[in-house]
Amino acid sequence: MPFLDGPDDFPDASPAYGTTPTCDEQGNEKEAQICQTVAHMNELRAEEAVFFQIFLSLHYHSQLLTPCTCGKSRLRTVACTECLQSELLCPQCWVNEHQTMPTHWVFVWNWEERFFEKHDFCHVMKNTIIGLSHYGERCPDADPGRSFTLVDSNGIHATCLTFCPCQTTNGKWGIFPGSVSEPKTGYKLGLLDYHCQQQNQGKGSAYNFVLVLQRMADPFFAGAVPLQITMERGQAHRVDVPLPGEANRPYPNRPKGFLGIPCEACPEWGINMPFVVNNTRHLISENDTLDGNYKLNQFFKRDNGSDTALTDGTMYFPKQAEFEEITKMYVIPEEDTEIPCKARIGSIRHQGSVKYALSGVVACACDHAVVGSFVNMLKGEAFALGTLAQHEKFLHTNSPHSPEAATPHVISYDSYCSFVVNEVKWAITLFPEDEWLHTLLAAVEGQIPADHINGGHFHGEMAEVLWAFLNALGSSTRQMTRGAYHNTINFVIHAWNLLKVLHQAELLADERLDALRLFELHMAVLEDLSRQNATEVVAWSRLSRIASKSTAGKVCSVYQHESTKVMTIESMLAPMIAAEQERLKKNHGHEASTTVVQWIHDGISIECCQVLAIALLRNHPEHPLEETWATITKLHDTLNIDLKKFREHQLEIYLRLRLSALDVDEPELTAIQLPLYRMKHGQWALSGDDATNTDSQLREAEIQLRCAEADSGIVAVRSASLALSAVKKARDLGYQGQAGVTRSQRNLQKAELMKAFEITMYNHVRVALIHLGHMTKDAVEPYWPLSQRDMQRKETHLHRAKGDSRLFNGTAWYLQSRVTISWAKVALTLLPGHGEQDSEEEPQLLAGTQMLKRPGMAAPFDEVCYEY
């Protein structure tokens, strides 16, 4: 573990934070007081290399793979790091030596991965069991071994033991059971005493105490220990050759001495992507985000001048000496005030306080929420510090940088529009020799969505999710000295990065399976379409190679076509009105002020407003929010005006029709007597040939408009589904206290309501076509029934754009393009085990803490239907 350079190398320089100024009661800085160094700390620096070699020797033993002293031709492969001066033993000898010390962690040599793997006592040899009583020996009358969780001060042990039935030994095991009958958990009495003393002194919570014990046992998942050990080995030890027990270098692109955990999912040339990639830009782009935090601050301290960060420059903070040099000139430069977003800069400059030596930190993280670097802030979120954070993060990835290692970069920052102005300039000023950084920042892209300015965070700002994890440290780190402050944050975020990285493989594997299931579904559709159009494929292939000229002389290709075949109701309305006006002018010599087609269209629009009003009232039956009630009131006013005009024109078409008074308080319950209504309620048969012809014309006109409405409904359902997806992505990362939670819940409810409303309207139109005689009741063509399940979506953990990995049967998508497929073939891919589920799953994220589970709406809107 490296320390700072000694005073002999810089005789005129005092320790970096040995001259911290104090403040008076008004917050003004007092004259700096130099702290004296301590002799024994200087002695420790002089012996840095010796301690470093001792620490490295813990991962290797000179007796490894030599014959054991038992004389049974066994090799030494098992070590204990908790016994003083312990020697390497064979498995059997180690078990014999630790019969009465079963809570010591054992390090067993892994022959395949070539490192010492941490195990529990019962995993050293097959059928190894902890025997209680009889001085570690198993009682002849003991019951078979059972799984047992044994908790000691060095961690939580998932082990196996037997209970002794002998009356003379009961209760003398030194283990307190977790339950009276059939205990499955036990606690060492020394651990309970330690917890009692800690509670008396530190007032810590039991939850935090358990988490500490869990981390003492190694925060790993099944099969992930090799990954953890490998990540923290050779690239951190400043040596050019693999250490004993290290098969190869897992991360050759890391700078020597770097102890941090890199992101496994971000593109890295020669590791998880080819050395030279000239295509598939969206697959190899690297997304980083910057953000400042003012909770991780630090008071002015009269700290010891020899107080040294053991992780100085080797983890996530830059070297303190380099940081001090930069902040002398570039804390808040004048150039940062003459930029477009002066309001934003004003808010930044007013954050922090003079009573703090450090007002917070700036973090640079990837879009998987794995931290790459931290930089301290002095009196504000100066943009030069953001450039320093970028430099540190890039230095830990693909280092040394070369043209072949260049991948597209995207930066997200809540002040990017201001930050980008001098981004390259600061890089040239601070790091004139690092030309790779100048080239990288000159080509980088940036983003800052408008919704951040309006009061909410955006999904690209992944650095925000770190603060929920780190803010709790603020109350303690602000009281620490600078070295302890840096060490604490480094070690805590190191554990965060480790858990993130160990989760990534599992999440990526799950997403790959979902993508394969989706591929199977679409391949079934493709195969079916290929069979249906086998005879046309040759002709299509020929057309794709031939260009033709239109009558206007324009060169056309078979690929120049409309993106969809859907005819919206608005595009259908105009030619129908023109045809009716032409017919009236020909038969009666004049045009109508309001055509019958327009009247039917107005009735359909009124029905849509009525269904929406009913949906809002059903979902807010008691005390709707002010915004919701304003929407309902506006719908009522619109319906009253439109219904009055609609009913007046209705009397011109149905001369014998008698209308009741209009209920202005509940206009959504008023019947809209279109041809559909009259056919449904037996009012269709009228006397006279003219009446029959008129009704037939009205019916045909409504059928055409209803078909266009169904097509528009398909597009609306798809749009509402995408909108709901976007809201779900934004809600997890858009919290700003309780107000942010409430806003996210409200946005989610509105998006779910609109999706259910669009599905209901589509099904309502389909039922209308059935009553009009255009479709049979059990028909599935041209319009299939839709449900929430048909629009089920599963987001990708990366939240790429709209999310390309989906879990749905594609009903609305195929309806939109008028594709006819064999649903029996597709159904084979949707059997249990192929991924379809009854309810939509929450997206599993790589970012942030566990998501809050939100209840659904008050009532399922799928069942909402409109009665005529």
Whether the pLDDT of residue 401 is over 60: the answer is yes
Would you state the pLDDT for residue 198? 81
Least confident of 80-89, 322-331, 633-642: 322-331
Residue with the larger pLDDT of the pair 319 and 347:
319
Would you state the pLDDT for residue 278? 60
Structure token digits, residue 770: 């059935």
Percent of all residues in the chain with a pLDDT value above 90, rounded to a whole number: 1
Would you state the pLDDT for residue 93? 92
DSSP E strand stretches across 65-114: 78-80, 106-110
Strand partners, 292: 362
Place of tokens 């032409």: 582
Whether the pLDDT of residue 398 is over 70: the answer is no
Whether the pLDDT of residue 108 is over 80: the answer is yes
Whether the pLDDT of residue 256 is over 80: the answer is no
Whether the pLDDT of residue 583 is over 50: the answer is yes
Query: Distance (Å, rounded) from C-alpha 668 to C-alpha 313?
Result: 68
Least confident of 37-41, 237-241, 488-492: 237-241
Q: Checking DSSP bridges between strand 409-413 and strand 445-447, what pairing results, if any?
A: parallel
Whether 478 and 356 have beta carbons less than 8 Å apart is answered as yes
Would you state the pLDDT for residue 283? 67
Mean pLDDT confidence for 108-128: 82
**pLDDT band at 374; cut points 50, 70, 90:** very high
Whether the pLDDT of residue 212 is over 50: the answer is yes
Query: Distance (Å, rounded) from C-alpha 277 to C-alpha 264?
Result: 18
Mean pLDDT confidence for 757-778: 85
Would you state the pLDDT for residue 414? 76
Would you state the pLDDT for residue 72? 81
Query: Distance (Å, rounded) from C-alpha 465 to C-alpha 25?
Result: 35
Residue 847's closest CA among 406, 504, 562? 504
Residue 407's closest CA among 249, 254, 512, 272? 272
Angle, CA 827 vertex, CA 821 and CA 830 arms, to 5°? 130
Percent of all residues in the chain with a pLDDT value above 70, rounded to a whole number: 64
Mean pLDDT confidence for 369-385: 83
Query: Distance (Å, rounded) from C-alpha 388 to C-alpha 406?
Result: 19
Whether the pLDDT of residue 603 is over 60: the answer is yes
Would you state the pLDDT for residue 669? 84
**DSSP assignment, residue 420?**
G
Least confident of 157-166, 276-285, 837-846: 837-846
Would you state the pLDDT for residue 65? 85
Query: Distance (Å, rounded) from C-alpha 613 to C-alpha 605?
Result: 13
Residue with the larger pLDDT of the pair 7 and 517:
517
Residue 815's closest CA among 785, 771, 775? 785
**DSSP assignment, residue 15?**
-
- Structure confidence by residue, pLDDT tens digits, 824-858: 444 554 444 443 443 444 433 333 333 333 333 33
Count other C-beta atoms under 10 Å from residue 510's C-beta: 14
Would you state the pLDDT for residue 221? 37
Helix axes 206-216, 189-202, angle to 10 degrees: 130
Whether the pLDDT of residue 593 is over 80: the answer is no
**pLDDT band at 63; cut points 50, 70, 90:** confident
Return the sign of the alpha-carbon dihedral for residues 553, 559, 564, 567. Answer: positive
Mean pLDDT confidence for 118-122: 85
Mean pLDDT confidence for 744-756: 83
Mean pLDDT confidence for 357-370: 86
Structure token digits, residue 88: 């390497």
Mean pLDDT confidence for 478-489: 85
Whether the pLDDT of residue 598 is over 80: the answer is yes
Structure token digits, residue 511: 């997403």
Residue with the larger pLDDT of the pair 393 and 649:
393
Query: Distance (Å, rounded) from C-alpha 58 to C-alpha 252?
Result: 23
Return the sign of the alpha-carbon dihedral for residues 668, 670, 676, 679. Answer: positive
Q: Kindly tell me the burial class for residue 594, based on how many C-beta atoms sit within 10 Å of its own C-beta (0-12, 13-18, 19 or more).
A: middle
Mean pLDDT confidence for 90-99: 89
**pLDDT band at 15; cut points 50, 70, 90:** very low
Place of tokens 């702290």: 35
Structure token digits, residue 32: 């700096």
Whether the pLDDT of residue 682 is over 50: the answer is yes
AA identity, residue 316: Y
Whether 487 and 310 have beta carbons less than 8 Å apart is answered as yes
Structure token digits, residue 473: 């440290």
AA identity, residue 692: T
All residues at 6 or more sequence positions from 848 whose CB lies less than 8 Å from its CB, including other chains: 369, 465, 468, 732, 733
Residue 315's closest CA among 358, 375, 271? 375
**pLDDT band at 90; cut points 50, 70, 90:** very high
> How is 288-340 classified by DSSP, letter by letter?
EEEEEESSS-EE-----TT---TTTTTSSSPPHHHHHHHHHH-SS-GGGGSSS
Query: Distance (Å, rounded) from C-alpha 587 to C-alpha 589?
Result: 6
Mean pLDDT confidence for 649-656: 75
Query: Distance (Å, rounded) from C-alpha 446 to C-alpha 599?
Result: 51
421 three-state secondary structure = helix
Q: For 282, how many CA atoms within 13 A lie in the half-sphere containing its CB?
A: 6
Torsion of CA 805, 810, 814, 815, to 10 degrees: -130
Residue with the larger pLDDT of the pair 759 and 741:
759
Query: Distance (Å, rounded) from C-alpha 130 to C-alpha 122?
Result: 7
Would you state the pLDDT for residue 687? 42
Query: Distance (Å, rounded) from C-alpha 448 to C-alpha 412?
Result: 6
AA identity, residue 120: D
